[in-house]
Amino acid sequence: MNNLFKIFIGTTALFFSLTFMNNASALDVVFSEDRPDLRTLDPRITQSRHEEMLIVNMFDQLIAADNSGTMYPGLAKSWEVSSDGLHYTFNLRDDVTFHDGTKFNAAAVKATFDSIVDPETGSQGAVDILGPYASSDVVDEYTVRVNYSRRYGSALSAFTETELSIVSPTALNSLGNDGFGMAPIGTGPFMFKSWEANKKVEMVKNPDYNWAPEYMDGTGPSKVDNLTFRLIKDTSTRVAALESGEVDIAELVPPLDMRRFDASGELNTIAGTVSGLPYSAFLNTSTGHFQDIKVRQAFFYSLNRVKMTNDLFFGYAEAAFGPISSATPSYWKGNEDYYPYDVAKAEALLEEAGWKIGSNGIREKNGETLSIFFPCLLEPDTCVSIQGYANKVGFDVNVEVVMKARQDELIFANGYDMLVIRWVSLDPGVLIIPFHSRNIPAPGKFKFNWSRYSTAELDQLLEDAESAETQETKDDLYMQIQKTIMDQAIFLAIHDQVQTVAYNPNLEGVRFANGNWQLRMYDVREK
């Protein structure tokens, strides 16, 4: 193998190339996005997993977590939680600097969290992950106390999330929110260098970096000097580059190619089930035909999720059955008893709801057809498979492959019958984000309760689980939450998210960031 190493990341994919010469290295990353281009590199604002792929390599969090969710000291050396669960006191490292040379300290933590809850920031995921935040107090230069308005059982897990990365207050004040998103300043192992729209983002290693979490293999700066992320969307082009040796690491490798690489042994592969929400569909309960629970249940019964997953992923992903993945704490195995593939049951429910088969095979009622509008942002092949199964029992599912901007437009307008989602999280507390009534979207209010389902009972369960004092209580409440969601048939789990990576066997240190989704490049090196 020559001295040029390249890493490729794929479907919405990133290419990485690494060059090791005389102890110097350059890493080239090529990616494809759901949008025409990246929108922001500000962790407080991002909604994109590929933006996060870049962000996770430039920023650090108060608490670090490995890909199993085990927590380690990060920017905080240690922490204490008050007996009432309302106050989290962090003892911070005193040897960390931001990429702009300014000090990381308690004031930076306070400024970051205060900015997340400031409506002017426009935070979306981060403000939800931060939870019922009240304020932060600078106790001294390297001690900060984070205060909550109510007990927040997911707080420690939240402090490991990319969205709660600590940002440079100096850079933020100088650049403003928009400018910071285009030229971010963190404390991570790589520093932002440049961004050429629709083409690439360049980074360089942080030469002062010496605070990697203990679960990482290395110490000191990264072995990679230069890191470039390049935009490439075509799947066949990406795979060809991987096979030819033009690139050396590929993320989100198509399952057929993973199977081929496993059989040939020409490349190493790793796969991991992602924690959080599986690849799933919200059924809109506020408008259209899915207002009727029998229609929702019929839709669920019409899908052979096991066969669909096997046909699409060839064993690299498992069918999913509940609102959180089997890799997520508090997963309830009772989910697996709901809505097995049953065409007769689906047809019977539709008949009970008054939907009769028309001459063209599409069901009709009171002069209307059983039409379902399904905008699809993620995995179009899976959306088409869902369409095929549902149409067999009389649905008329219309799939429209959309970009992120179009999906957002439809969310604000409440102009859809179902939408797909996936979400990485190490904690079941993520369920409050897509299922609490306060998170129903509205014009100018981007939130994630896309089923638009709202009951006081479910809201209370979610709030009680968020503030649970013991793991036993937490597990019981999340079981009830999952049961309620399944009983109401508002969220259709299809398959667990799976992260697939193929890479040159001459490389080591290829690892996932927390949640098994992003790749963390700090440890990558030549054997």
CATH number where 429 lies = 3.10.105.10
**CATH number of 112's domain:** 3.90.76.10
Are residue 281 and residue 261 in the same domain, yes or no?
no
Beta bridge partners of 21: 24
pLDDT of residue 252: 79
Are residue 426 and residue 282 in the same domain, yes or no?
yes
Alpha helix stretches (DSSP H) within 121-189: 125-130, 155-158, 169-182
Are residue 204 and residue 267 in the same domain, yes or no?
yes
Query: What sign for the dihedral angle of Cα 361, 367, 370, 371?
Result: positive
Q: Which of 162, 186, 210 is the last residue of a domain?
A: 186
Are residue 85 and residue 220 in the same domain, yes or no?
no
pLDDT of residue 31: 55
Are residue 309 and residue 409 in the same domain, yes or no?
yes
pLDDT of residue 26: 65
Q: What does pTM read for this prediction? A: 0.85
DSSP three-state, residue 86? coil
Low-confidence ranges of the chain (pLDDT < 50): 1-12, 17-24, 30
Domain that holds residue 231: 1-58+188-274+498-527
Are residue 6 and residue 69 in the same domain, yes or no?
no
Are residue 138 and residue 97 in the same domain, yes or no?
yes
- For the chain, how many helices (H) and strands (E)? 15, 27
- With both helix axes pointing from N to C terminus, report the angle between 169-182 and 106-117 in degrees, rounded to the nearest 10: 50
pLDDT of residue 250: 80
pLDDT of residue 224: 86
Are residue 235 and residue 281 in the same domain, yes or no?
no
Smallest CA-to-CA distance from 31 within 316, 250, 246 is with 250
Are residue 293 and residue 369 in the same domain, yes or no?
yes
pLDDT of residue 245: 80
| Number of domain units in the chain | 3
Distance CA 50, CA 54 (A): 7
Distance CA 239, CA 249 (A): 10
**CATH number of 217's domain:** 3.40.190.10
Are residue 482 and residue 400 in the same domain, yes or no?
yes
Query: Taking the CA atoms of the chain, what radius of gyration do you get in angstroms?
Result: 23
Are residue 366 and residue 470 in the same domain, yes or no?
yes
pLDDT of residue 203: 92
pLDDT of residue 27: 52
Are residue 124 and residue 165 in the same domain, yes or no?
yes
CA atoms within 13 A on the CB side of 458: 23
